[in-house]
Amino acid sequence: MNVLILGGDGYLGWPTAMNLTANGHTVAVVDNYLRRNVCREEDVEPLFDVPNLHERTRLWKETSGYNVQVFIGDLRQWDFVADVFGQFVPDAIIHYAEQPSAPYSMLNRRAATLTLSNNIEVTANVIFAVREFVPEAHIIKIGTMGEYGTPDIDIEEGWLDIEHKGRRSRFLYPRQAGSLYHTTKVMDTDLLWFYVRMWDLRVTDLMQGPVYGLFTDENEKDSRLLPFFNYDELFGTVLNRFIVQAVDGYPLTVYGKGGQTRGYLDIRDTLQCVRLSLENPSKAGELRIFNQFVETFSVNQLAEKVQQVGNQFNLNVEIRSIENPRKEAEDHYYNPVHTGLLELGLKPHYLTDDVISQMLETVIKYKDNIKKTSIFRGVKWK
């Protein structure tokens, strides 16, 4: 298939581009380096430098023989969007082109506005571009498990049947996000659902949990092809942060009681889930939703796992509960359904001691790059 990856420079975008070309698809990537620029502005650079998209595609061509076409520009600008769709006719669009950080969205008014305008306008432009240029194309959108929040009942896979005064109807599962970033994802889902109903678009919305890891089949032998690895409070996800903290001798930053439970997945499973969705498209007029994670952990469980494996590396890992900068439930019920992707053929990678060891070994190589001041700055959500 011809696949257009929006946000192709990101933590997940670039690994997806390599993975899809290695599996026979023709890929073009689009990015405006939003994440690189925001990280530079906020002084939270990733653990190691990664080459720009042009260089990455050259390196990938050199090592694998596969081509990836690159478009650099802002998908909020319609002229640019029209130019991309004029040059590359996709069968599917994978939409990662969003400001992806919950803490960044809660930093200040400017960050909030950027998150809102980028995420909503890009999603709207994707919808308009599909309608205008490729109405049969499949939109694969990366949503988030955070759209549902942490309700006191089981979380279904996107939809809920409601019985009310003797009648039944099916609705999107109630959403109550915990950050502005997560709220933009709820808005994205609503936009997509509206236009699925209006224009019979073909959409898959992947409600993804926090992702960890660095290695995929395509980059294991060449560190120049690794994705960004953020460990700072703004852009680092919790397990990646704990690994870096363990290596740095920084007590693991468990926020509050540490009972916050989420559904996690290895970056290799993100690639599988996206490819399974791509190769088994939804129907015209269908908004298909999958909950994309493989196992749930509380923050305390993650910290204990990292401590236990870290200590086998003689890192003497300490865990410290600190006042929670976020406003979230710290002790709650969490039981989301996640069978859809397994039924499509997902073969999960679990968080084993070996996976944690491999991440620790890699981070140890870049130990000198760790900047302690990036680890915690206390962005208050209240």
The strand pairing partners of 28, in sequence order, are 4, 69
d(CA 293, CA 239): 14
Tell me which residue has its CB nearest to ligand USQ.
146
Out of 32, 123, 237, 270, the only residue in the binding site for ligand USQ (CB under 6 A) is 237
- When the beta carbons of 101 and 183 are compared against ligand USQ, the nearer one is 101
Q: Quick check: 150 binds ligand USQ (CB under 6 A)? A: no
Pattern of binders to ligand USQ over 101-120, x per CB under 6 A? xx------------------
If one asks whether residue 299 binds ligand USQ (CB under 6 A), the answer comes out as yes
| Count of residues that bind ligand USQ according to CB under 6 A | 21
Q: Does 100 bind ligand USQ (CB under 6 A)?
A: yes
Our answer to whether residue 61 is catalytic in this structure is no
Q: How far is the CB of 317 from ligand USQ (least distance, A)?
A: 14
Taking CB under 6 A as the criterion, the residue among 262, 268, 275, 338 binding ligand USQ is 262
Q: Which two tokens stand for residue 325?
A: 């900068």
Candidate list 48, 80, 193, 255; residue touching ligand USQ; CB under 6 A: 255
HEC per residue, the chain: CEEEEECCCCCCHHHHHHHHHHCCCEEEEEECCHHHHHHHHCCCCCCCCCCCHHHHHHHHHHHHCCCEEEEECCCCCHHHHHHHHHHCCCCEEEECCCCCCHHHHCCCHHHHHHHHHHHHHHHHHHHHHHHHHCCCCEEEEEEEHHHCCCCCCCECCCEEEEEECCEEEEEECCCCCCCHHHHHHHHHHHHHHHHHHHHCCEEEEEEECCEECCCCCCCCCCHHHCCCCCCCCCCCCHHHHHHHHHHHCCCEEEECCCECEEEEEEHHHHHHHHHHHHHCCCCCCEEEEEEECCEEEEHHHHHHHHHHHHHHCCCCCCEEEECCCCCCCCECCCCECCCHHHHHCCCCCCCCHHHHHHHHHHHHHCHHHCCHHHHCCCCCCC
Half-sphere exposure of 157 (CA within 13 A, CB side): 16
CA 75 to chain centre: 18
Question: 11 an active-site residue?
Answer: no
Binding mask 318-347 for ligand USQ (x = CB under 6 A): --------x-x-------------------
253 belongs to the binding site for ligand USQ (CB under 6 A): yes
Please say which residue, 90 or 146, places its beta carbon nearer to ligand USQ: 146
| Annotated catalytic residue, options 16, 57, 144, 150 | 144
User: Residue 66 CB, nearest distance to ligand USQ (Å)?
Assistant: 27
In the list 57, 99, 115, 144, the residue contacting ligand USQ (rule: CB under 6 A) is 144
From the list 113-121, 247-255, 268-276, 359-367, the region that binds ligand USQ by CB under 6 A is: 247-255
CB of 211 to ligand USQ, least distance (A): 7
- Using CA of residue 140, residue 265, residue 24, residue 222, what is the dihedral sign? positive
Q: Which of 21, 66, 185, 305 is catalytic?
A: 185
Q: Which tokens hold the place of 246?
A: 């363990």
Q: Kindly tell me which of 182 and 275 has the beta carbon lying closer to ligand USQ.
A: 182
Q: Point out which span in 48-56, 68-76, 133-141, 233-241 binds ligand USQ (CB under 6 A).
A: 233-241
Q: Which of 92, 97, 145, 192 binds ligand USQ (CB under 6 A)?
A: 145
Task: Clarify whether 181 is annotated catalytic.
Answer: yes
Part in contact with ligand USQ (CB under 6 A); list of ranges 87-95, 113-121, 248-256, 332-340: 248-256
Under the rule (CB under 6 A), what is the footprint of ligand USQ? 100-102, 144-146, 182, 208-210, 237-238, 241, 253-255, 260, 262, 299, 326, 328
Catalytic residue list? 144, 181, 185
